Chains A and B, each alone.
Chain A
Amino acid sequence: MRTFAIHSYKGGTGKTTLAANLAAIMAKKGHDVAILDTDFQAPSLHTLFGIATRSCYVNDFLSEKVKHTEVLTDIGSTFDLSGKLFVGFSDPNVEAIREQLAKDRKWHMQAISQLLVLKQKLEKEGFDYFILDSAPGVHYSSVNTIVVSDFTIIVAKIDNFDFDGTAHLLDELYGPLNKDTMLLFNKVVPNLLEGKSSAGLIEMVKEMFEGKTQLLGFLPCYCNVPLGMGSEVLALTQPDLPFIAKLIEIEQKIEAAEFPGD
């Protein structure tokens, strides 16, 4: 089993969208996939998968209130996928979010322990991929997901904030943790990916990140992606979109990825 977190320095880079669609693409191909929403401040997987309120959440599992079998919902059969697609949602109630903000170090230590236990269980149950949709930036819940993962996909936009922030993360977070990473640029202005500008862009990215991470690719900004209003997983509902075609290529690269530590 391979475990990866999808993380970014800044918010809104497309982590959740990519995590959900990658999970769906993988499950469609026949892989058994589990995906977990670990963004407790801004839960979103439930909206994306169009799941109404639930009785138990990732929060409860991390607090050891429920078992791992209770927290994961199998939605693979709903969408007639050939592989399993198990999703764990984070509690979107405002009260729960507030509660989450007040958690101390001890709780987060228990949380990481629980995540590691879950990883072990899923591995035993024969899952192929375990995906963690992380909160952006650096704090307990995001670092927990990175520590638990075998590698991290960093999603960045083409702007200087993200460039600098990502470089920092590589030097000060992934590096010391000895974690492999893949860097994916999302919402790239399509013009930048054409002709001369494309060569220039690749050159610039290479200069900044070569040797520190593997370049996973560039995803253009597609105006029709937000049309689903963030409540559909396009790989499941509109698999013919160019966005999904591109993501399928990205998914193949992830599957084929090899890391020195493997």
Chain B
Amino acid sequence: MIRAVYILVSGGVCVFSRSYDPELADPYLLSSFVSAMASFSKEAMGDDLRGIESDGKFIFIADHKQVTTVVIADGPDEVTSTLIDYIGLNFISRFGKDIQQGRQNLPIFDKFTEVLDKLIPEHLKFTDSVKPREPLDSLAIVELPKELKDIAMLLVRERSITEKKAALELGISLKKSTRLLEKLVNLGRAGRKLEGRNVIYFV
């Protein structure tokens, strides 16, 4: 789950932030920590993207020359370099000129929120706990799309499950299990909550 995205310019100034997690510390407070990390990791990390653990979360940092893109997520391999590059380069393509001219707090940067929300796949976005709107009983299972039936039954049996356990039980990839569970959440048939670092899906 992605908790937040920050775009920093040289000098570690945060020009854009988007938090998906209301409980996350004030993004600007955090950004000073992140910018320290960013300048440190520029030298340390080289080309490959890797989450740095901090405070139970993972910080992904990518150097996109004009900007540094930072993504905070729950797992060590939740953020691919494709995704983080996509975010950074997209920002540059929109606001590169402004950045070059040294502008650091333009209201138009906020427009990137909308873009970003579309860039990040729905199932990766952290959202607060969601309660199921309707019970997942057998009549509801009849109406579900075919691909969701097995996972729905597993969820009904276990009553609460992590995406990892679901993937293991059904012999599917973690990605697929998360996608299917998120679909159930979107349909209002399952809930999602956070317990420690684990995302728990429940009925």
Contacts and interface: CB of A to CB of B under 8 A. Distances in A.
Interface of A: 105-106, 108-109, 112-113, 116-117, 120, 140, 143-144, 146-147, 173, 176-178
Contacts of A146: 138
A140 B137 contact: yes
B135 interface: yes
A109 B156 CA distance: 7
Nearest to A176: B142
A105 B157 contact: no
Contact of A144 (B135, B136, B138, B203): B138
B157 A177 contact: no
A144 B136 CA distance: 11
Q: Is the interface of B mostly helix, strand, loop or mixed?
A: helix
Interface in B109-142: 135-139, 141-142
A143 B141 CA distance: 10
B175 interface: no
Contact of A108 (B137, B143, B159): B137
Interface in B138-158: 138-139, 141-143, 146, 149, 153, 156-157
A177 B141 CA distance: 7
B135 A147 contact: no
B137 to A, nearest CB: 4
Interface string B190-203: 00000000000001
A173 B135 CA distance: 19
A112 B141 CA distance: 11
Given A106-B135, A177-B149, 13 more contacts: A106-B137, A108-B137, A109-B137, A112-B137, A113-B156, A113-B159, A116-B157, A117-B157, A140-B137, A140-B138, A144-B137, A147-B141, A176-B142
Contacts, number: 47
Interface of B: 135-139, 141-143, 146, 149, 153, 156-157, 159, 203
B136 A109 contact: yes
A108 B153 CA distance: 13
Contacts of A116: 153, 156-157
Contacts of A108: 137-138
Contacts of B139: 105, 140, 143
A146 B136 CA distance: 15
B203 A109 contact: yes
B190 to A, nearest CB: 12
Contact of B149 (A105, A106, A178): A178
Contacts of B137: 105-106, 108-109, 112, 140, 144
Contacts of B143: 176
B138 A112 contact: yes
6 contacts: A113-B203, A116-B153, A117-B157, A120-B157, A146-B138, A147-B142
B138 A147 contact: yes
A141 to B, nearest CB: 9
B53 to A, nearest CB: 35
Q: Which among B136, B141, B146 has the highest number of chain A CB atoms within 10 Å?
A: B141
A144 to B, nearest CB: 5
A257 B180 CA distance: 31
A-B complex: 4 closest residue pairs judged by Cβ atoms? A116-B157, A109-B137, A143-B138, A147-B138
Contacts of A109: 135-138, 156, 203
B67 to A, nearest CB: 48
Nearest to A117: B157
Nearest to B144: A176
